[in-house]
């Protein structure tokens, strides 16, 4: 029997994505974000609060990187969601992670994260529903250890985790349970 829970953001899984930007002073800032993702083949959408330092940096620099965090860096990723660069000037330094300049956009690449999209801002939208950033993917970087023999990202090697909005938890991802466009093909034959 289904039970009504009211209005809630009830999607599972939610991605755990790290938005990295440079501030006006060139300092690296990283923010943990679950409300966003791919919105077209070469586009991402971020839904963040406009009061975040990240929003200010995105507007000023016109670029960001978007990384998939992995389980070995879960504590750092969670910290990037707890701390705010508006109050913690050395937020990134405290994490112990390292950053390098992107070769494609004016934003940092966090070297420890296994998968990163380098993005240029296409549009910022401030509406009554919030602040939304549309970004075009200029390039994707992947650590060689997460690639298969054909050079494609192997999700079982990515060691990614997702956010549980119901109980505020994180869950590891990696077990393959089906094949897209094949697992349900038997219903096409009816």
Which two three-digit tokens encode residue 176? 């393959």
Q: Which of 88, 99, 131, 86 is nearest to 18 (CA)?
A: 99
Strand 14-15's sheet: what is its strand order? 14-15, 161-164, 169-172
pTM of the model: 0.93
The proportion of the chain whose per-residue pLDDT surpasses 70, expressed as a percent, equals: 99
4 inside domain: no
2 inside domain: no
pLDDT > 90? residue 92: yes
On average, the pLDDT of the chain sits at 94
7 inside domain: no
What integer pLDDT is reported at residue 163 of this predicted model?
Answer: 93
Domain span including residue 18: 14-189
pLDDT in tens, 73-87: 999 999 999 999 999
Total count of domains within the chain: 1
pLDDT in tens, 1-42: 999 989 988 888 888 999 999 999 999 999 999 889 999 999
Beta carbons within 10 angstroms of residue 22's beta carbon: 20
Here the CATH number for the domain that contains residue 62 is 2.30.110.10
3-class SS string, 60-118: HHCEEEEEECEHHHHHHHHHHHHCCCCCCCCHHHHHCCCEEECCCCCCEEECCCCEEEE
5 inside domain: no
């Amino acid at each position: 029997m289904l039970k009504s829970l009211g209005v809630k953001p009830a999607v599972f899984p939610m991605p755990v994505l790290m938005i990295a930007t440079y501030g006006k002073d060139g300092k690296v800032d990283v923010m943990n974000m679950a409300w966003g993702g791919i919105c077209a083949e070469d586009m991402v959408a971020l839904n963040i609060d406009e009061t975040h330092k990240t929003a200010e940096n995105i507007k000023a620099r016109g670029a960001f990187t978007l990384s998939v965090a992995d389980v070995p860096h879960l504590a750092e990723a969670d910290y990037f969601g707890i701390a705010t660069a508006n109050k913690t000037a050395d937020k990134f330094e405290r994490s112990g992670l390292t950053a390098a300049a992107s070769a494609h956009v004016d934003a940092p690449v966090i070297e420890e994260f296994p998968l990163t999209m380098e993005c240029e801002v296409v549009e910022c939208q401030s509406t009554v529903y919030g602040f939304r950033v549309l970004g075009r993917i200029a390039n994707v970087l992947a650590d060689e250890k997460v690639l298969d023999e054909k050079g494609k990202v192997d999700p079982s090697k990515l060691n990614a985790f997702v956010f549980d909005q119901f109980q505020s938890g994180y869950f590891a991802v990696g077990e393959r349970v089906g094949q897209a466009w094949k697992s349900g093909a038997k219903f096409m034959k009816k």
